[in-house]
Structure formats: C-alpha cells, structure tokens
Amino acid sequence: MRIALFVTCLGDVLFPDVARATVAVLERLGHDVVFPEAQTCCGQMHTNTGYQHDAVGLVRHHVDVFEQAMARGCEAVVAPSGSCVGSVRHQHAAVARRSGDEALAVRAEAVAARTFELSELLVDVLGVTDVGAAYPHRVTYHPTCHSLRLLGVGDRPLQLLRAVRGIDLVELPAADSCCGFGGTFSVKNADTSTAMLADKMSAVLATDAEVVTAGDASCLMHIGGGLSRLRTGVRPVHLAEILASTA
C-alpha cells in the first residue's frame, strides 16, 4: 500500500528518529512510504490554545497537502501521534465550520477519514500485529489520553508490543490517567501539570521498567523530561522506535 507520512511538526523538528522508525516499520512490511514535503503542522496547538482563526490556514494547508497525496495514489495517511491524528479527525472540520468554510470542512472530513495513528494503521488497516521487531528490554506502556479517548485505539499498541520478541512488558499502574502534558496547559498551569507528572513518574518507577513507551512524542517528551530531570535513568522511547527495532 502507498502510505503518506504525516510526520507532525514536533516529529519533524525534535523527534526525527520517531518518524524514521515509522518509515522503517512500514517499509519492512513492504509498503511504499511517501513524504509530502509541503506539510507543516496540523494546527492543534493553535486550536487548543484558543487561536482558531490562526489555525484555519494551517488546516487548509494540511488538507491541500494530503488531498494531493491521496490524488497521487496514497491510500492512507499515517502519523506516529495519537494527538495529531485526533486533531485531524476531531478538530479540522470543526475549525473550518466555525470559520464559516463549509467546503473546507467537507474536504477535511475526507482527509480525516483516511488518516490513521500508527497502531490503528498497522492493526486495523494493514492487519498485522507482529511487525517482526525484537526489543530485549523491560518496557511499560503509557496510553496517552488522545490515543485512548479521542481515537479509541484500545489495546492495539499493546497487541503490537506483545508480539515484539524479547520484550518484558510490564503494566503501568493507573495507566489511563493523564501525564499532565496537555500542550500549553503544561506551561499555563505548570504547577498542576507538574503534580500530575509526579504521579505518572511514580507509577513508571514502580514498574521498574528501563523504558517507558507511548504513541505520542509530545507526552513522552513530558514524561521523559521529568524522568531525566530526576536522573531516574528510565528512557522514553516511542512505540514506533520499539517496533522498528530488530535487535
């Protein structure tokens, strides 16, 4: 299948390893990955911070870029981020409608219908759970809020992780509670965010895992930033990177 990679702005600039890993997994499975170079950002930060006017242009740009990719034969769009896929699927049309652009809303809905988070694409669209990965480490999985609730990915990431050879997967206590990131929430309400993060870190440390993984680079950046500040030695590793690993 020809698949367009929606790298996300954060993935492009701060976490290219995650994006490269996404490409590696899909290519290993025999798919053709395309990177529409005109893409920039889905506008989630603008929308969630109250700048929907500014987000409209970004939505339009995103729709233009991925509509074209689909016109060129891409059957699906994938992003290694539950949050950005959540923005495309649940916010783009609403942002367009709020600005009075019904035509854009309809186009956004069409793009959203073909856009998948990585674990959704692998399990639902491509029908695989064993991607041929090996990762001999003790790992705990944090199901990020947008993957869990906005997208409803359920246990798809866990299905994928369970099929990884050599992995020692340990359950995270109170896994479904938010890590406290929430985009600009983490700076606007930094104290509350930090209190949430502290509880998440305690849960991670209680598992004795070497690695904490998730399907969102942003939440991992948050949890990892806290774990690193405390010099805990627990590494944040994105789900895509584990799935790409072969040794």
Partner 1 sequence: MSTFLGMPQGRVPGPAADTAVGQLTGDRPFPAAARDALGNTQLRRNLAHATSTIRAKRAAVVGEVPDWEALREAGSAIKADTMARLPELLEQLEANVTARGGTVHWARDAAEANRIVLDLVRATGENEVVKVKSMATQEIGLNEALEGAGITAHETDLAELIVQLGHDKPSHILVPAIHRGRSEIREIFAREMPGVDPGLTDEPAVLAAAARTHLREVFLRAKVAVSGANFGVAETGTLTVVESEGNGRMCLTLPETLITVMGIEKVVPTWRDLEVFLQLLPRSSTGERMNPYTSSWAGVTPGDGPQEFHLVLLDNGRTRALADDLGRTALHCIRCSACLNVCPVYERTGGHAYGSVYPGPIGAVLTPFLTGITGGSDPNDSLPYASSLCGACYDVCPVKINIPDLLVELRAEHTEAHAARHRLPTSEAAAMKAAAWVMADPKRFARVGRAATRGRHGIRQGKPVLPLPPPLSGWTASRDVPSPPAETFRDWWARTRGDRP
Q: Can you tell me which of 190, 206, 208, 246 binds partner 1, judged by CB under 8 A?
A: 190
Least CB distance to partner 1 at residue 63 (A): 13
Q: Rounded to the nearest 5°, which phi and psi values hold at 181?
A: -70, -80
Angstrom distances, CA of residue 41 to CA of 38, 65, 83, 153, 247: 10, 11, 12, 22, 33
Cβ distance to partner 1 smaller for residue 119 or 193? 193
Q: Considering only residues 43-82, where is the footprint of partner 1 by CB under 8 A?
A: 43, 45-55, 57-58, 61
Q: Considering only residues 28-47, where is the footprint of partner 1 by CB under 8 A?
A: 35, 37-41, 43, 45-47
Q: Can you tell me which of 19, 93, 122, 211 binds partner 1, judged by CB under 8 A?
A: 19
d(CA 99, CA 220): 33
Cβ distance to partner 1 smaller for residue 148 or 167? 148
Q: Is 7 in the site for partner 1 (CB under 8 A)?
A: yes
DSSP state of 134: B
Residues facing residue 3 across a β-bridge? 33, 76
Q: Rounded to the nearest 5°, which phi and psi values hold at 178?
A: -65, 145
Q: Can you tell me which of 186, 207, 213, 245 binds partner 1, judged by CB under 8 A?
A: 186
Q: Is 239 in the site for partner 1 (CB under 8 A)?
A: no
- Of 73, 50, 74, give the one whose Cα is nearest residue 183: 50
Burial of 127 by CB count in 10 Å (0-12 exposed, 13-18 middle, 19+ buried)?
A: exposed
What residue ranges bind partner 1 (CB under 8 A)?
7, 9, 11-17, 19-20, 35, 37-41, 43, 45-55, 57-58, 61, 91, 94, 98-99, 145-146, 148-150, 176-178, 180-197, 221-222, 224-226, 228-229
